[in-house]
Amino acid sequence: MQLAHAGRKGSTSQPWKGNKPLTPQQGGFLPIYAPSAVPFYDGHVPEALDEGGIARIVRAFGDAASRALNAGFRVLEIHAAHGYLLHEFLSPLANRRTDQYGGSFDNRARAILEVARAVRAKWPERLPMFTRISSTDWAEGGWDVEQSIELARRLAREGVDLIDCSSGGMAPGAKIPVGPGYQTQFAERIRLEAGIPTGASGAHPLALPGRAHPAQRTGRYGHPRPRNAAQSVLAAGGRA
């Protein structure tokens, strides 16, 4: 089960219907929330969360973990990638706050660490908990792999078992070199430098018949897909 908050990308149509902002008259909703009143879509301006609103969302993630457990799920992933709310807190491109949730790396990481703590408090230690991140924004001045490595270290201390490495989604028009295994470089660095298992997602070489990426052959990034890591942990009877 993946837990997420859309942040400033909320109230939009399905991707196959254009991924466009929706008004309440079109079936959308208001307000949409973000760390700062910085839009992703022109004219679709979010409302900046106050600290009470942040605390409410942190509690909501924990409550969602409890519901997932009661429903019988055995693996949980916190979605902090692709320009959604938790990624927005991390990236200076979306986070213009001047309080304890903005500015420095420590402050920008505060929200996701609070969420991880709240979720792990409700999610048993024996069950795996992953976090998906965008390892880089692919944009100048944005979130990058060096910050991802430090974040991964801190998430591990909060009980996260695996970092699911993706990228992008924050900056409209970012040029992303999509290709087979293009995100394995991030998974490798985070695994080696942060000391936490990783998975790589997106344009995966295993999905392409007759093709193999060097990382696949050498095991550079550990688990080729996050679900494989979950299966390994569960087969062993609990957390790695």
Residues marked as catalytic:
84
Residue 20: φ, ψ to 5°: -105, 150
Based on C-alpha coordinates, what's the Rg of the chain? 18
Alpha-carbon span 119 to 121, nearest angstrom: 5
Task: Point out which residues pair with 133 in neighbouring strands.
Answer: 80, 165
CB proximity list for 120: less than 8 A, separation 6 or greater: 129, 158, 159, 160
Alpha-carbon span 50 to 11, nearest angstrom: 20
- From the number of C-beta atoms within 10 Å of its C-beta (0-12, 13-18, 19+), residue 3 rates as buried
Please give the helix or strand (H or E) that residue 133 lies within, else none: strand 129-134
Rounded-to-10 torsion of CA 146, 149, 155, 159 = 180
132 DSSP 8-state letter: E
Task: Point out which residues pair with 223 in neighbouring strands.
Answer: 199
Hey, what are 168's tokens? 């992008």
Please give the helix or strand (H or E) that residue 149 lies within, else none: helix 145-157
